Amino acid sequence: MQSTPSSPGWLLFVFSLPAVRATERVEVWRKLRRFGALQLPSSGYILPNTPENQEHLEWLAAVVRKGKGQASVIHASAIDDQPDDQLIQDFVRARSADYEQLLQGMKGPAALNNSAKTSRIRKRFEAIAAIDFFNSPLRSRMEAALARARSNDVASSAFSELRHKKRYKNRSWVTRPRPGIDRVSSAWLIRKFIDPQAHFVFSHDPKHHPNAVPFDMFQKGEFGHRGDDCTFETLRKAFGIRETGVAALAEMIHDADLQDSKFGRSEATSLDLVLIGWAQQNTTDEELLRRGIDLIAGLYEAISKGVKP
């Protein structure tokens, strides 16, 4: 099944504790949930086979044995009644449900202006992202929601500092991996109107690329979501790009990325779905960006020539 990442192999955790150890049993269950483990219908709990997950489970097995119980950590290349594709989708669904719960808490202007609540949600997001082993498509939605909330704290003076165009020629630009509709369209905008020789790199931490210009990340003073604007709109305004086709495209990207129907434009929504689908096919970040830029270039060409949907 091409739409899911390949399996890394699995770790199966099985344990038992005496009936009088109910408190310890509940604590083991809580730790397994914190590790992102899924319970198999038959028996045991499963995690992708990574060194970190093995360390977690070996440690937990030692805790169980210390509590007069029994525990085993089993390495498995496959589970006969649970195909890899099904297990991977189960992990994706579990993390998507976690992200959806957080997204509900981010809705409304009150949530965006509640820094204490946003801080709690961000910490919970970081914990979920750490166990999002197979890249739930809702992760990028959650990152965008947090970016919008954080943008309310960005100083306007820092934003104004970024308007000097000469500083942004022949540069590397860094953004998060697995680019979606806002990031690929922003990359297209950068190449076409800001920095024709732009080179793009991917990282969760721009400190790994100190000479690169961050966009659509979480750093202060960056080009990202600002107030009600997506990153594409922020870049357009920061560099004074007033071209009519870009203005129309900005409305489409806004509605596809933020899903708030602010402009009533649905033209880019299907492109967003295509990007999400490609992201689930093990497409590299570089290839995902290249294909996405081509999609946006085609949409812009149609807009410029007055093609109606």
Q: What is the pLDDT of residue 154?
A: 44
Model pLDDT for residues 163-193, shown as the tens digit of each residue: 567 789 999 999 999 999 999 999 999 999 9
Q: Say if residue 139 is in the same domain as residue 212.
A: no
Measured between alpha carbons, how far apart are the two ends of the chain, in Å? Answer: 33
Average pLDDT value for residue range 214-237 = 84
Question: Does some domain include residue 228?
Answer: yes
Share of the chain above pLDDT 70, in %: 88
Average pLDDT over residues 224-233: 88
In this predicted structure, what is the pLDDT of residue 111? 57
Q: Would you state the torsion angle of the CA atoms of residues 301, 279, 218, 109, taken in this order, to the nearest 10 degrees? A: 80
Co-location of 182 and 291 in the same domain: yes
Mean pLDDT of 16-21: 88
Q: What is the structure's pLDDT at 164?
A: 60
Indicate if 201 and 171 belong to the same structural domain.
yes
Q: pLDDT by residue (tens digit) across 257-307?
A: 988 888 999 899 999 999 988 988 888 999 999 999 999 999 999 998 877
**Rama region for 28: left / alpha / beta (φ>0; ψ in -120 to 50; rest):** alpha
pLDDT (0 to 100) of residue 189: 97
Which residues are within 8 A (CB) of 269 and not within 5 positions of it... i.e. 6 or more apart? Answer: 255, 256
Between the alpha carbon of residue 286 and those of residues 16, 20, 83, 208, 222, the distances in Å are: 46, 55, 30, 17, 21
- The SS3 assignment for 154 reads coil
Q: What is the pLDDT of residues 23-79, one digit of tens each?
A: 888 999 999 999 999 999 878 999 999 999 999 999 999 999 998 899 999 999 988
Structural domain span for residue 106: 85-151
202, 263: one domain:
yes
Q: Which of 80, 96, 126 is the last residue of a domain?
A: 80
| pLDDT, tens only, 84-141 | 999 999 999 999 999 999 998 887 655 555 667 788 888 899 999 999 999 898 988 8
pLDDT recorded at residue 120: 87
Given CA atoms 250, 252, 258, 264 in this order, what sign does their dihedral have? positive
Residue 274 and residue 191 share a domain: yes
pLDDT at site 153: 45
The number of folded domains in the chain is: 3
CATH of residue 68's domain is 3.30.70.240
